[in-house]
Structure 1
Amino acid sequence: MNLLAKKSLTVFTSLALAVTAAACSSGGAGNDEAAESQVPGSESSHSASPTESDGSLAKYDPPITIRTTAAEAKDFLNEGETTENNVWTQGYEQELGIKVKYDWITKGDNYTDKMNITLASGDLPDLLNVNQTQYKQLLDAGQLEDLSEVYEKYASELVKKFYTMGTDGLKPVRQDDKLYGLTYYSGSYDTSPMLWIRTDWMQNLNLEPPKTMDDVMNIAKAFTEQDPDKNGKKDTYGLELNKDLMGGGDMNPKGLMNGYHAYPGIWFKDGSGKLVYGSIQPEMKTALARLAEMFKAGYIDPEFATKDVAKASETVMAGKAGMFFGFMTSPFSVSGMITNENQIDWLPYPIPSADDKPAKVQNEVSYGNIWAIRKGYEHPEALIKLMNFAVEKTFGESAKTEAAKFIGESGQGFHVAPIKLLEPNKNVGIYHHVVDALEANDPSKLNREEKSYYDGITSYRGGDRSQWWFERIFGPDSSQKIIQHYIDNDSILLNEFVYPPTKTMATKGATLGKLELETFMKIIYGNVPIDEFDTFVQNWKKLGGDQMTEEVNQLVS
């Protein structure tokens, strides 16, 4: 979903994404579906269209049929269309000679359960749309077609480009040098943590932007003790958190922990090249000690353990806290407090370091669901051609004249397509284009999506503070500027484990996750001493963590 649609529909999510990451994603890691990315533009700067001569969009004659399944997308259909008969299915048949037949269509929240029943039945559709766990089940059973050759032969240059933007977008579906599917890869940059601070409070107290984690502590102290809202009451505190801690969404402490070189919940390489779990590393103990110190001093919302992301956002919007760690989409969490009747403002800042070692921010690649072909289907290349078609109509040369037809005026018509891929990591490029246009006072070179953000910023600057979020996501002092800072300084640390859960993850991961959350919460609240972290690490290892670590390293070796 794009920023405009998200705002108009008031879609504020707190899903943990494996990130999601795009202009409309919430700031966390991904669920079974990738966070929807930006509206495809009606203009393109990409390479020339694929043609029939290279096979990427060659039409089948006679036509072929491909069986698949779908979650309903009624909200995005044009009048008179159905999931079975719409501009996309018509385009496939007319231009590619591919007839799409649905074995079943169900509501989105029933899709995973319905697919589990289908997998158990053994009657598989030709084209499978599955989550990572289901994909692993099919792969282990030898039920998926190897797509290596047909991908190399038929994938358009634009599709191949998209799957290599930022990192390997097909990494989760590569096993033993073979390719078994396509991912809904949306990049990673937009899942980067950053620090959001109320700048009107900083001005009231004559505070400077933070350059170190000690500065963050001092700002939190000032916001708690020096009456930053000037109401004569001691009713504010520095930092807001939410009860999920390591979960997705705003108001989580991951950014603070990154400042202490701790990376909770992700797997990364240690000095020997072995993958290790961030939550059990020594740096995490230091970060937790700091949080416990802040909580004891009253700098953190004393009731955060009872608040989910939505409730924590309400606390911030009520003017009770002046700082939180969030993401590029965090303006959506606080935009309701920005009105023409006040001068409230927030600015994002890079995560500062606690020492002389530059801080890195942890980052999740969003891969979403997986499309695969059942073993034995005679036209596995059809999946590749359907992907070529979707990318071409929304981002290729054809998009200049046909994007409106396929994605509609709302820009959301891509939801109807059974196969889709939105340009990964493109928001930072949009930021540069919009800022350049603002500086030149000339939006003529912007595409439709970019122009909508430009117009929002100019409306905000013209006095409409309801458009503030445009300025803070794509303006000169925005979250995308912070992401560019991370890119320039090589400050992004990717989660290296992007595969379906290992055996031990599937059986013991929930128990270990509960142990982690409960221990961290007790330490922060001061219910147990900081040395309880060492006991947690020992228990984590004994209860399955060591086995899980071994499995992870075997999988990636």
Structure 2
Amino acid sequence: MFLRTRRRAAAVAAGALALTLGLTACGEDSDPAEEISANKAGSMENYGVGVQFKATEPLTFSMLYNNHPNYPYKADWLFWQELSNRTNIKIDAVTVPLSDYEQKRSVMISAGDAPLIIPKTYPNQEDAFVSSGAILPVSDYVDLMPNYKDKVEKWSLGPEIDTLRQADGKYYLLPGLHQNPWQDYSLAIRTDILEQLNLEVPKTWDDLYTVLKAMKAAHPDVYPFSDRWNIPTPGGALFNVLGSAYGAPGGWDYQHARWDASTGKYFYAGASPQYKAWVEYLNKLVTEKLMDPESFTQNDDEARQKLANGKSFVISSNAQTLVNDYRPDLAKTIPNAKLTKIPLLIGAAGEINPQSRLENGVMISSKAKDNKNFVAMMQFIDWLFYSDAGQEFAKWGVEGTTFTKDASGKHQLAEDVNVIGLRPNAPKHLQKDFGFYNGVFAYGGKPELVQAFFSPEEQEYQKVVGPRKQAPWVLPPPAPFTDEEREQASLWETGLKDYVFQQTLRFILGQRPLSEWDAYVTELKSKNMDQYMALVDKAQERYKKEHG
């Protein structure tokens, strides 16, 4: 399964670890121009947009590789062979299991043992490593990356890029770039049950409440809504999409400070009226037995079994889990069931798309700038991650082997190749057997590339949700901490986040009455919430003064 968990993780644990184990920052700023002129071995003189990158001599670069259990790393994948043929580059992959990736990445960076190229890093996860000097301020070197610069300019991504900037005005992550925001996670619902009860597909969260009430009345022994994606973050997907609908995302996308465009100020998310509103909504569902109280603690298999056995009718979903998990499960147990991923429900924040156009991307070890092949490495990264040809290669593979093109230039999977159930009877698999679309490289791009493997129904979903106005908090003004501020903030963040998450569950499950919300906010203040927000405000004002 190729899960696209769009998270802007704070990486608090990684931050604490990096601060504890961090490397000593370089004493003097180096001159990027000198580094470039001294380390051009293997690079191309005429590299540019539309030019196939190929190193002038065989080179090898080390790379951290997120090893997904559904398509485990193979050294003999066609991906690696063809990549070497096209670019003259071999990758020395340091494989780390998906389950341990963030922790191992943090340990390796902090110990100075990280490979040169560190992909699969979500925006804000780089924050933890800036002060140590362990990762490169990549914004100093983007002139080496013509495809990256071209897409940032053509797609007007400057405001998104600004959200990555640190206190020095630089940024340290090369993000994946989308032309348009892509929103994936939503709810899947048994539409055959809706038809039986003569109900419309819900469009708002209030509509969903009405639907769940009707389902419960018709099936008193069922919790209509039983959810998944709780490990390691309770309510990971649901708190994100529901919280977004109210203006204060939780779960996977929880951030302490959120931007309120209407007031022009940051607010503390976990203490806000917006956050309280969706907590109250879920409490109502649980109290009225419309939602399984185990929804926020059970594992994915337990949630899937309840859906497959007709013990629930609604569950969080994305495009791939709908096709790869839920429908095959139901086909075995309730063959006539019909399950559909419905457009993102609308809440108090209005008809919004809560996604950024930035995707997980690449950090680069600061050691790379001293490598004689540094320029060639930056050109290689630019081609693979940001050129149209590199993105096509990473996703589709090799024309004539894994895909074909018709007379109009439209891509089609080869007849004997399957992915995401598009050719279920094909003997070969694009990810497992060839290594393409592998979750490390195949991110971002034009809509036709991003949506290449979408089913017709998912394309219809995107037609509904894609054009919605981008949520205002997606592009907050920069408020980066200094090294000293980040150290202090990291100490506060851990306790605050743990307490917010703990009390959120208690309120939802009725273990703590919502009448105690004000007391809860007071408790957050005792955990330095106000001091934390003062740091954020100070950082925003300083950045605005120094960088505009």
TM-score by length of 2: 0.67
Q: CA deviation at 1:295?
A: 1.6
Q: CA deviation at 1:383?
A: 2.7
2:271 corresponds to which residue?
Answer: 280
Provide the rounded CA distance (Å) in 2 between the counterparts of 1:163 and 1:414.
Answer: 33
Provide the rounded CA distance (Å) in 1 between the counterparts of 2:302 and 2:175.
Answer: 33
Q: CA deviation at 1:386?
A: 1.0
2:224 corresponds to which residue?
Answer: 238
2:311 is the counterpart of 1:320: yes
1:446 corresponds to which residue?
Answer: none
Distance 1:518 1:317, change over 3 A: same
| Partners of 1:166 and 1:188 within 8 A in 2 | no
| Partners of 1:127 and 1:371 within 8 A in 2 | yes
Q: Which residue of the other structure, out of 290, 311, 314, is the alignment partner of 2:302?
A: 311
2:465 is the counterpart of 1:515: no
1:445 corresponds to which residue?
Answer: none
2:186 corresponds to which residue?
Answer: 194
Q: CA deviation at 1:205?
A: 0.9
1:204 corresponds to which residue?
Answer: 196
| Partners of 1:404 and 1:411 within 8 A in 2 | no
1:299 corresponds to which residue?
Answer: 290
Give the partner amino acid of 1:25.
Answer: L
Q: CA deviation at 1:284?
A: 2.2
2:21 corresponds to which residue?
Answer: none
Flag structure 1 segments of 5+ consecutive residues without an equivalent: 1-5, 7-23, 34-49, 228-233, 432-449, 454-472
Provide the rounded CA distance (Å) in 2 between the counterparts of 1:243 and 1:406.
Answer: 32
- Figure out how many residues of one structure are paired with residues of the other and give that number: 461
Q: Which residue of the other structure, out of 83, 89, 93, is the alignment partner of 1:88?
A: 83
Give the partner amino acid of 1:542.
Answer: S
Q: Which residue of the other structure, out of 463, 468, 480, is the alignment partner of 1:489?
A: 468
2:337 corresponds to which residue?
Answer: 344
| Partners of 1:151 and 1:381 within 8 A in 2 | no
Q: CA deviation at 1:269?
A: 1.7
Instruction: Kindly provide the CA deviation profile for residues 508-532 of structure 1, in whole angstroms up to 9, marking residues without a partner as x.
Output: 4333222122212222222222122
* Greater Cα shift, 282-291 or 171-180: 171-180
Residue aligned with 1:238, SS: coil
2:376 corresponds to which residue?
Answer: 382
Q: Please provide the CA RMSD for this pair.
A: 4.7
Equivalence map 1:379-418=2 (5 Å)? 379-391=373-385, 392=387, 393-395=389-391, 410-412=429-431
| Partners of 1:181 and 1:370 within 8 A in 2 | yes
Provide the rounded CA distance (Å) in 1 between the counterparts of 2:76 and 2:173.
Answer: 33
1:474 corresponds to which residue?
Answer: 455
Q: CA deviation at 1:79?
A: 4.2
1:442 corresponds to which residue?
Answer: none
Q: CA deviation at 1:222?
A: 0.9
Distance 1:342 1:250, change over 3 A: farther
TM-score by length of 1: 0.66
Equivalence map 1:422-461=2 (5 Å)? 422-424=442-444, 426=446, 450=452
1:218 corresponds to which residue?
Answer: 210
| Partners of 2:228 and 2:316 within 8 A in 1 | no
Residue aligned with 1:151, SS: helix
1:40 corresponds to which residue?
Answer: none
Q: CA deviation at 1:182?
A: 2.5
Distance 1:300 1:395, change over 3 A: closer
Q: CA deviation at 1:397?
A: 9.6
Provide the rounded CA distance (Å) in 1 between the counterparts of 2:140 and 2:179.
Answer: 24
1:38 corresponds to which residue?
Answer: none
Provide the rounded CA distance (Å) in 2 between the counterparts of 1:399 and 1:361.
Answer: 25
Provide the rounded CA distance (Å) in 2 between the counterparts of 1:260 and 1:123.
Answer: 42
1:53 corresponds to which residue?
Answer: 46
* Greater Cα shift, 200-209 or 164-173: 164-173
Distance 1:404 1:143, change over 3 A: farther
| Partners of 2:245 and 2:347 within 8 A in 1 | yes
Provide the rounded CA distance (Å) in 2 between the counterparts of 1:188 and 1:294.
Answer: 34
| Partners of 1:27 and 1:330 within 8 A in 2 | no
Give the partner amino acid of 1:381.
Answer: V
2:522 is the counterpart of 1:538: yes
| Partners of 1:51 and 1:57 within 8 A in 2 | no
Q: CA deviation at 1:199?
A: 0.9
Residue aligned with 1:195, SS: strand
* Greater Cα shift, 252-261 or 74-83: 74-83
| Partners of 1:237 and 1:321 within 8 A in 2 | yes
Give the partner amino acid of 1:489.
Answer: R
Q: Which residue of the other structure, out of 351, 356, 360, is the alignment partner of 1:367?
A: 360
2:7 corresponds to which residue?
Answer: 29
Give the partner amino acid of 1:487.
Answer: G
Instruction: Kindly provide the CA deviation profile for residues 263-305 of structure 1, in whole angstroms up to 9, marking residues without a partner as x.
Output: 3324432123223343321122222222222222111114335
Give the partner amino acid of 1:371.
Answer: I
Instruction: Kindly provide the CA deviation profile for residues 220-276 of structure 1, in whole angstroms up to 9, marking residues without a partner as x.
Output: 11111113xxxxxx3223222348499477872443444444433244321232233
Distance 1:418 1:187, change over 3 A: same
| Partners of 1:27 and 1:250 within 8 A in 2 | no
Equivalence map 1:2-41=2 (5 Å)? 6=1, 24-27=2-5, 29=7
Give the partner amino acid of 2:226.
Answer: E
| Partners of 2:430 and 2:437 within 8 A in 1 | no
Distance 1:254 1:385, change over 3 A: closer
Q: CA deviation at 1:307?
A: 1.1
Equivalence map 1:64-143=2 (5 Å)? 68-71=62-65, 75-77=72-74, 79=76, 86-89=81-84, 91-93=86-88, 102=92, 105-108=94-97, 119=109, 127=117, 135-136=126-127, 139-142=130-133
1:269 corresponds to which residue?
Answer: 259
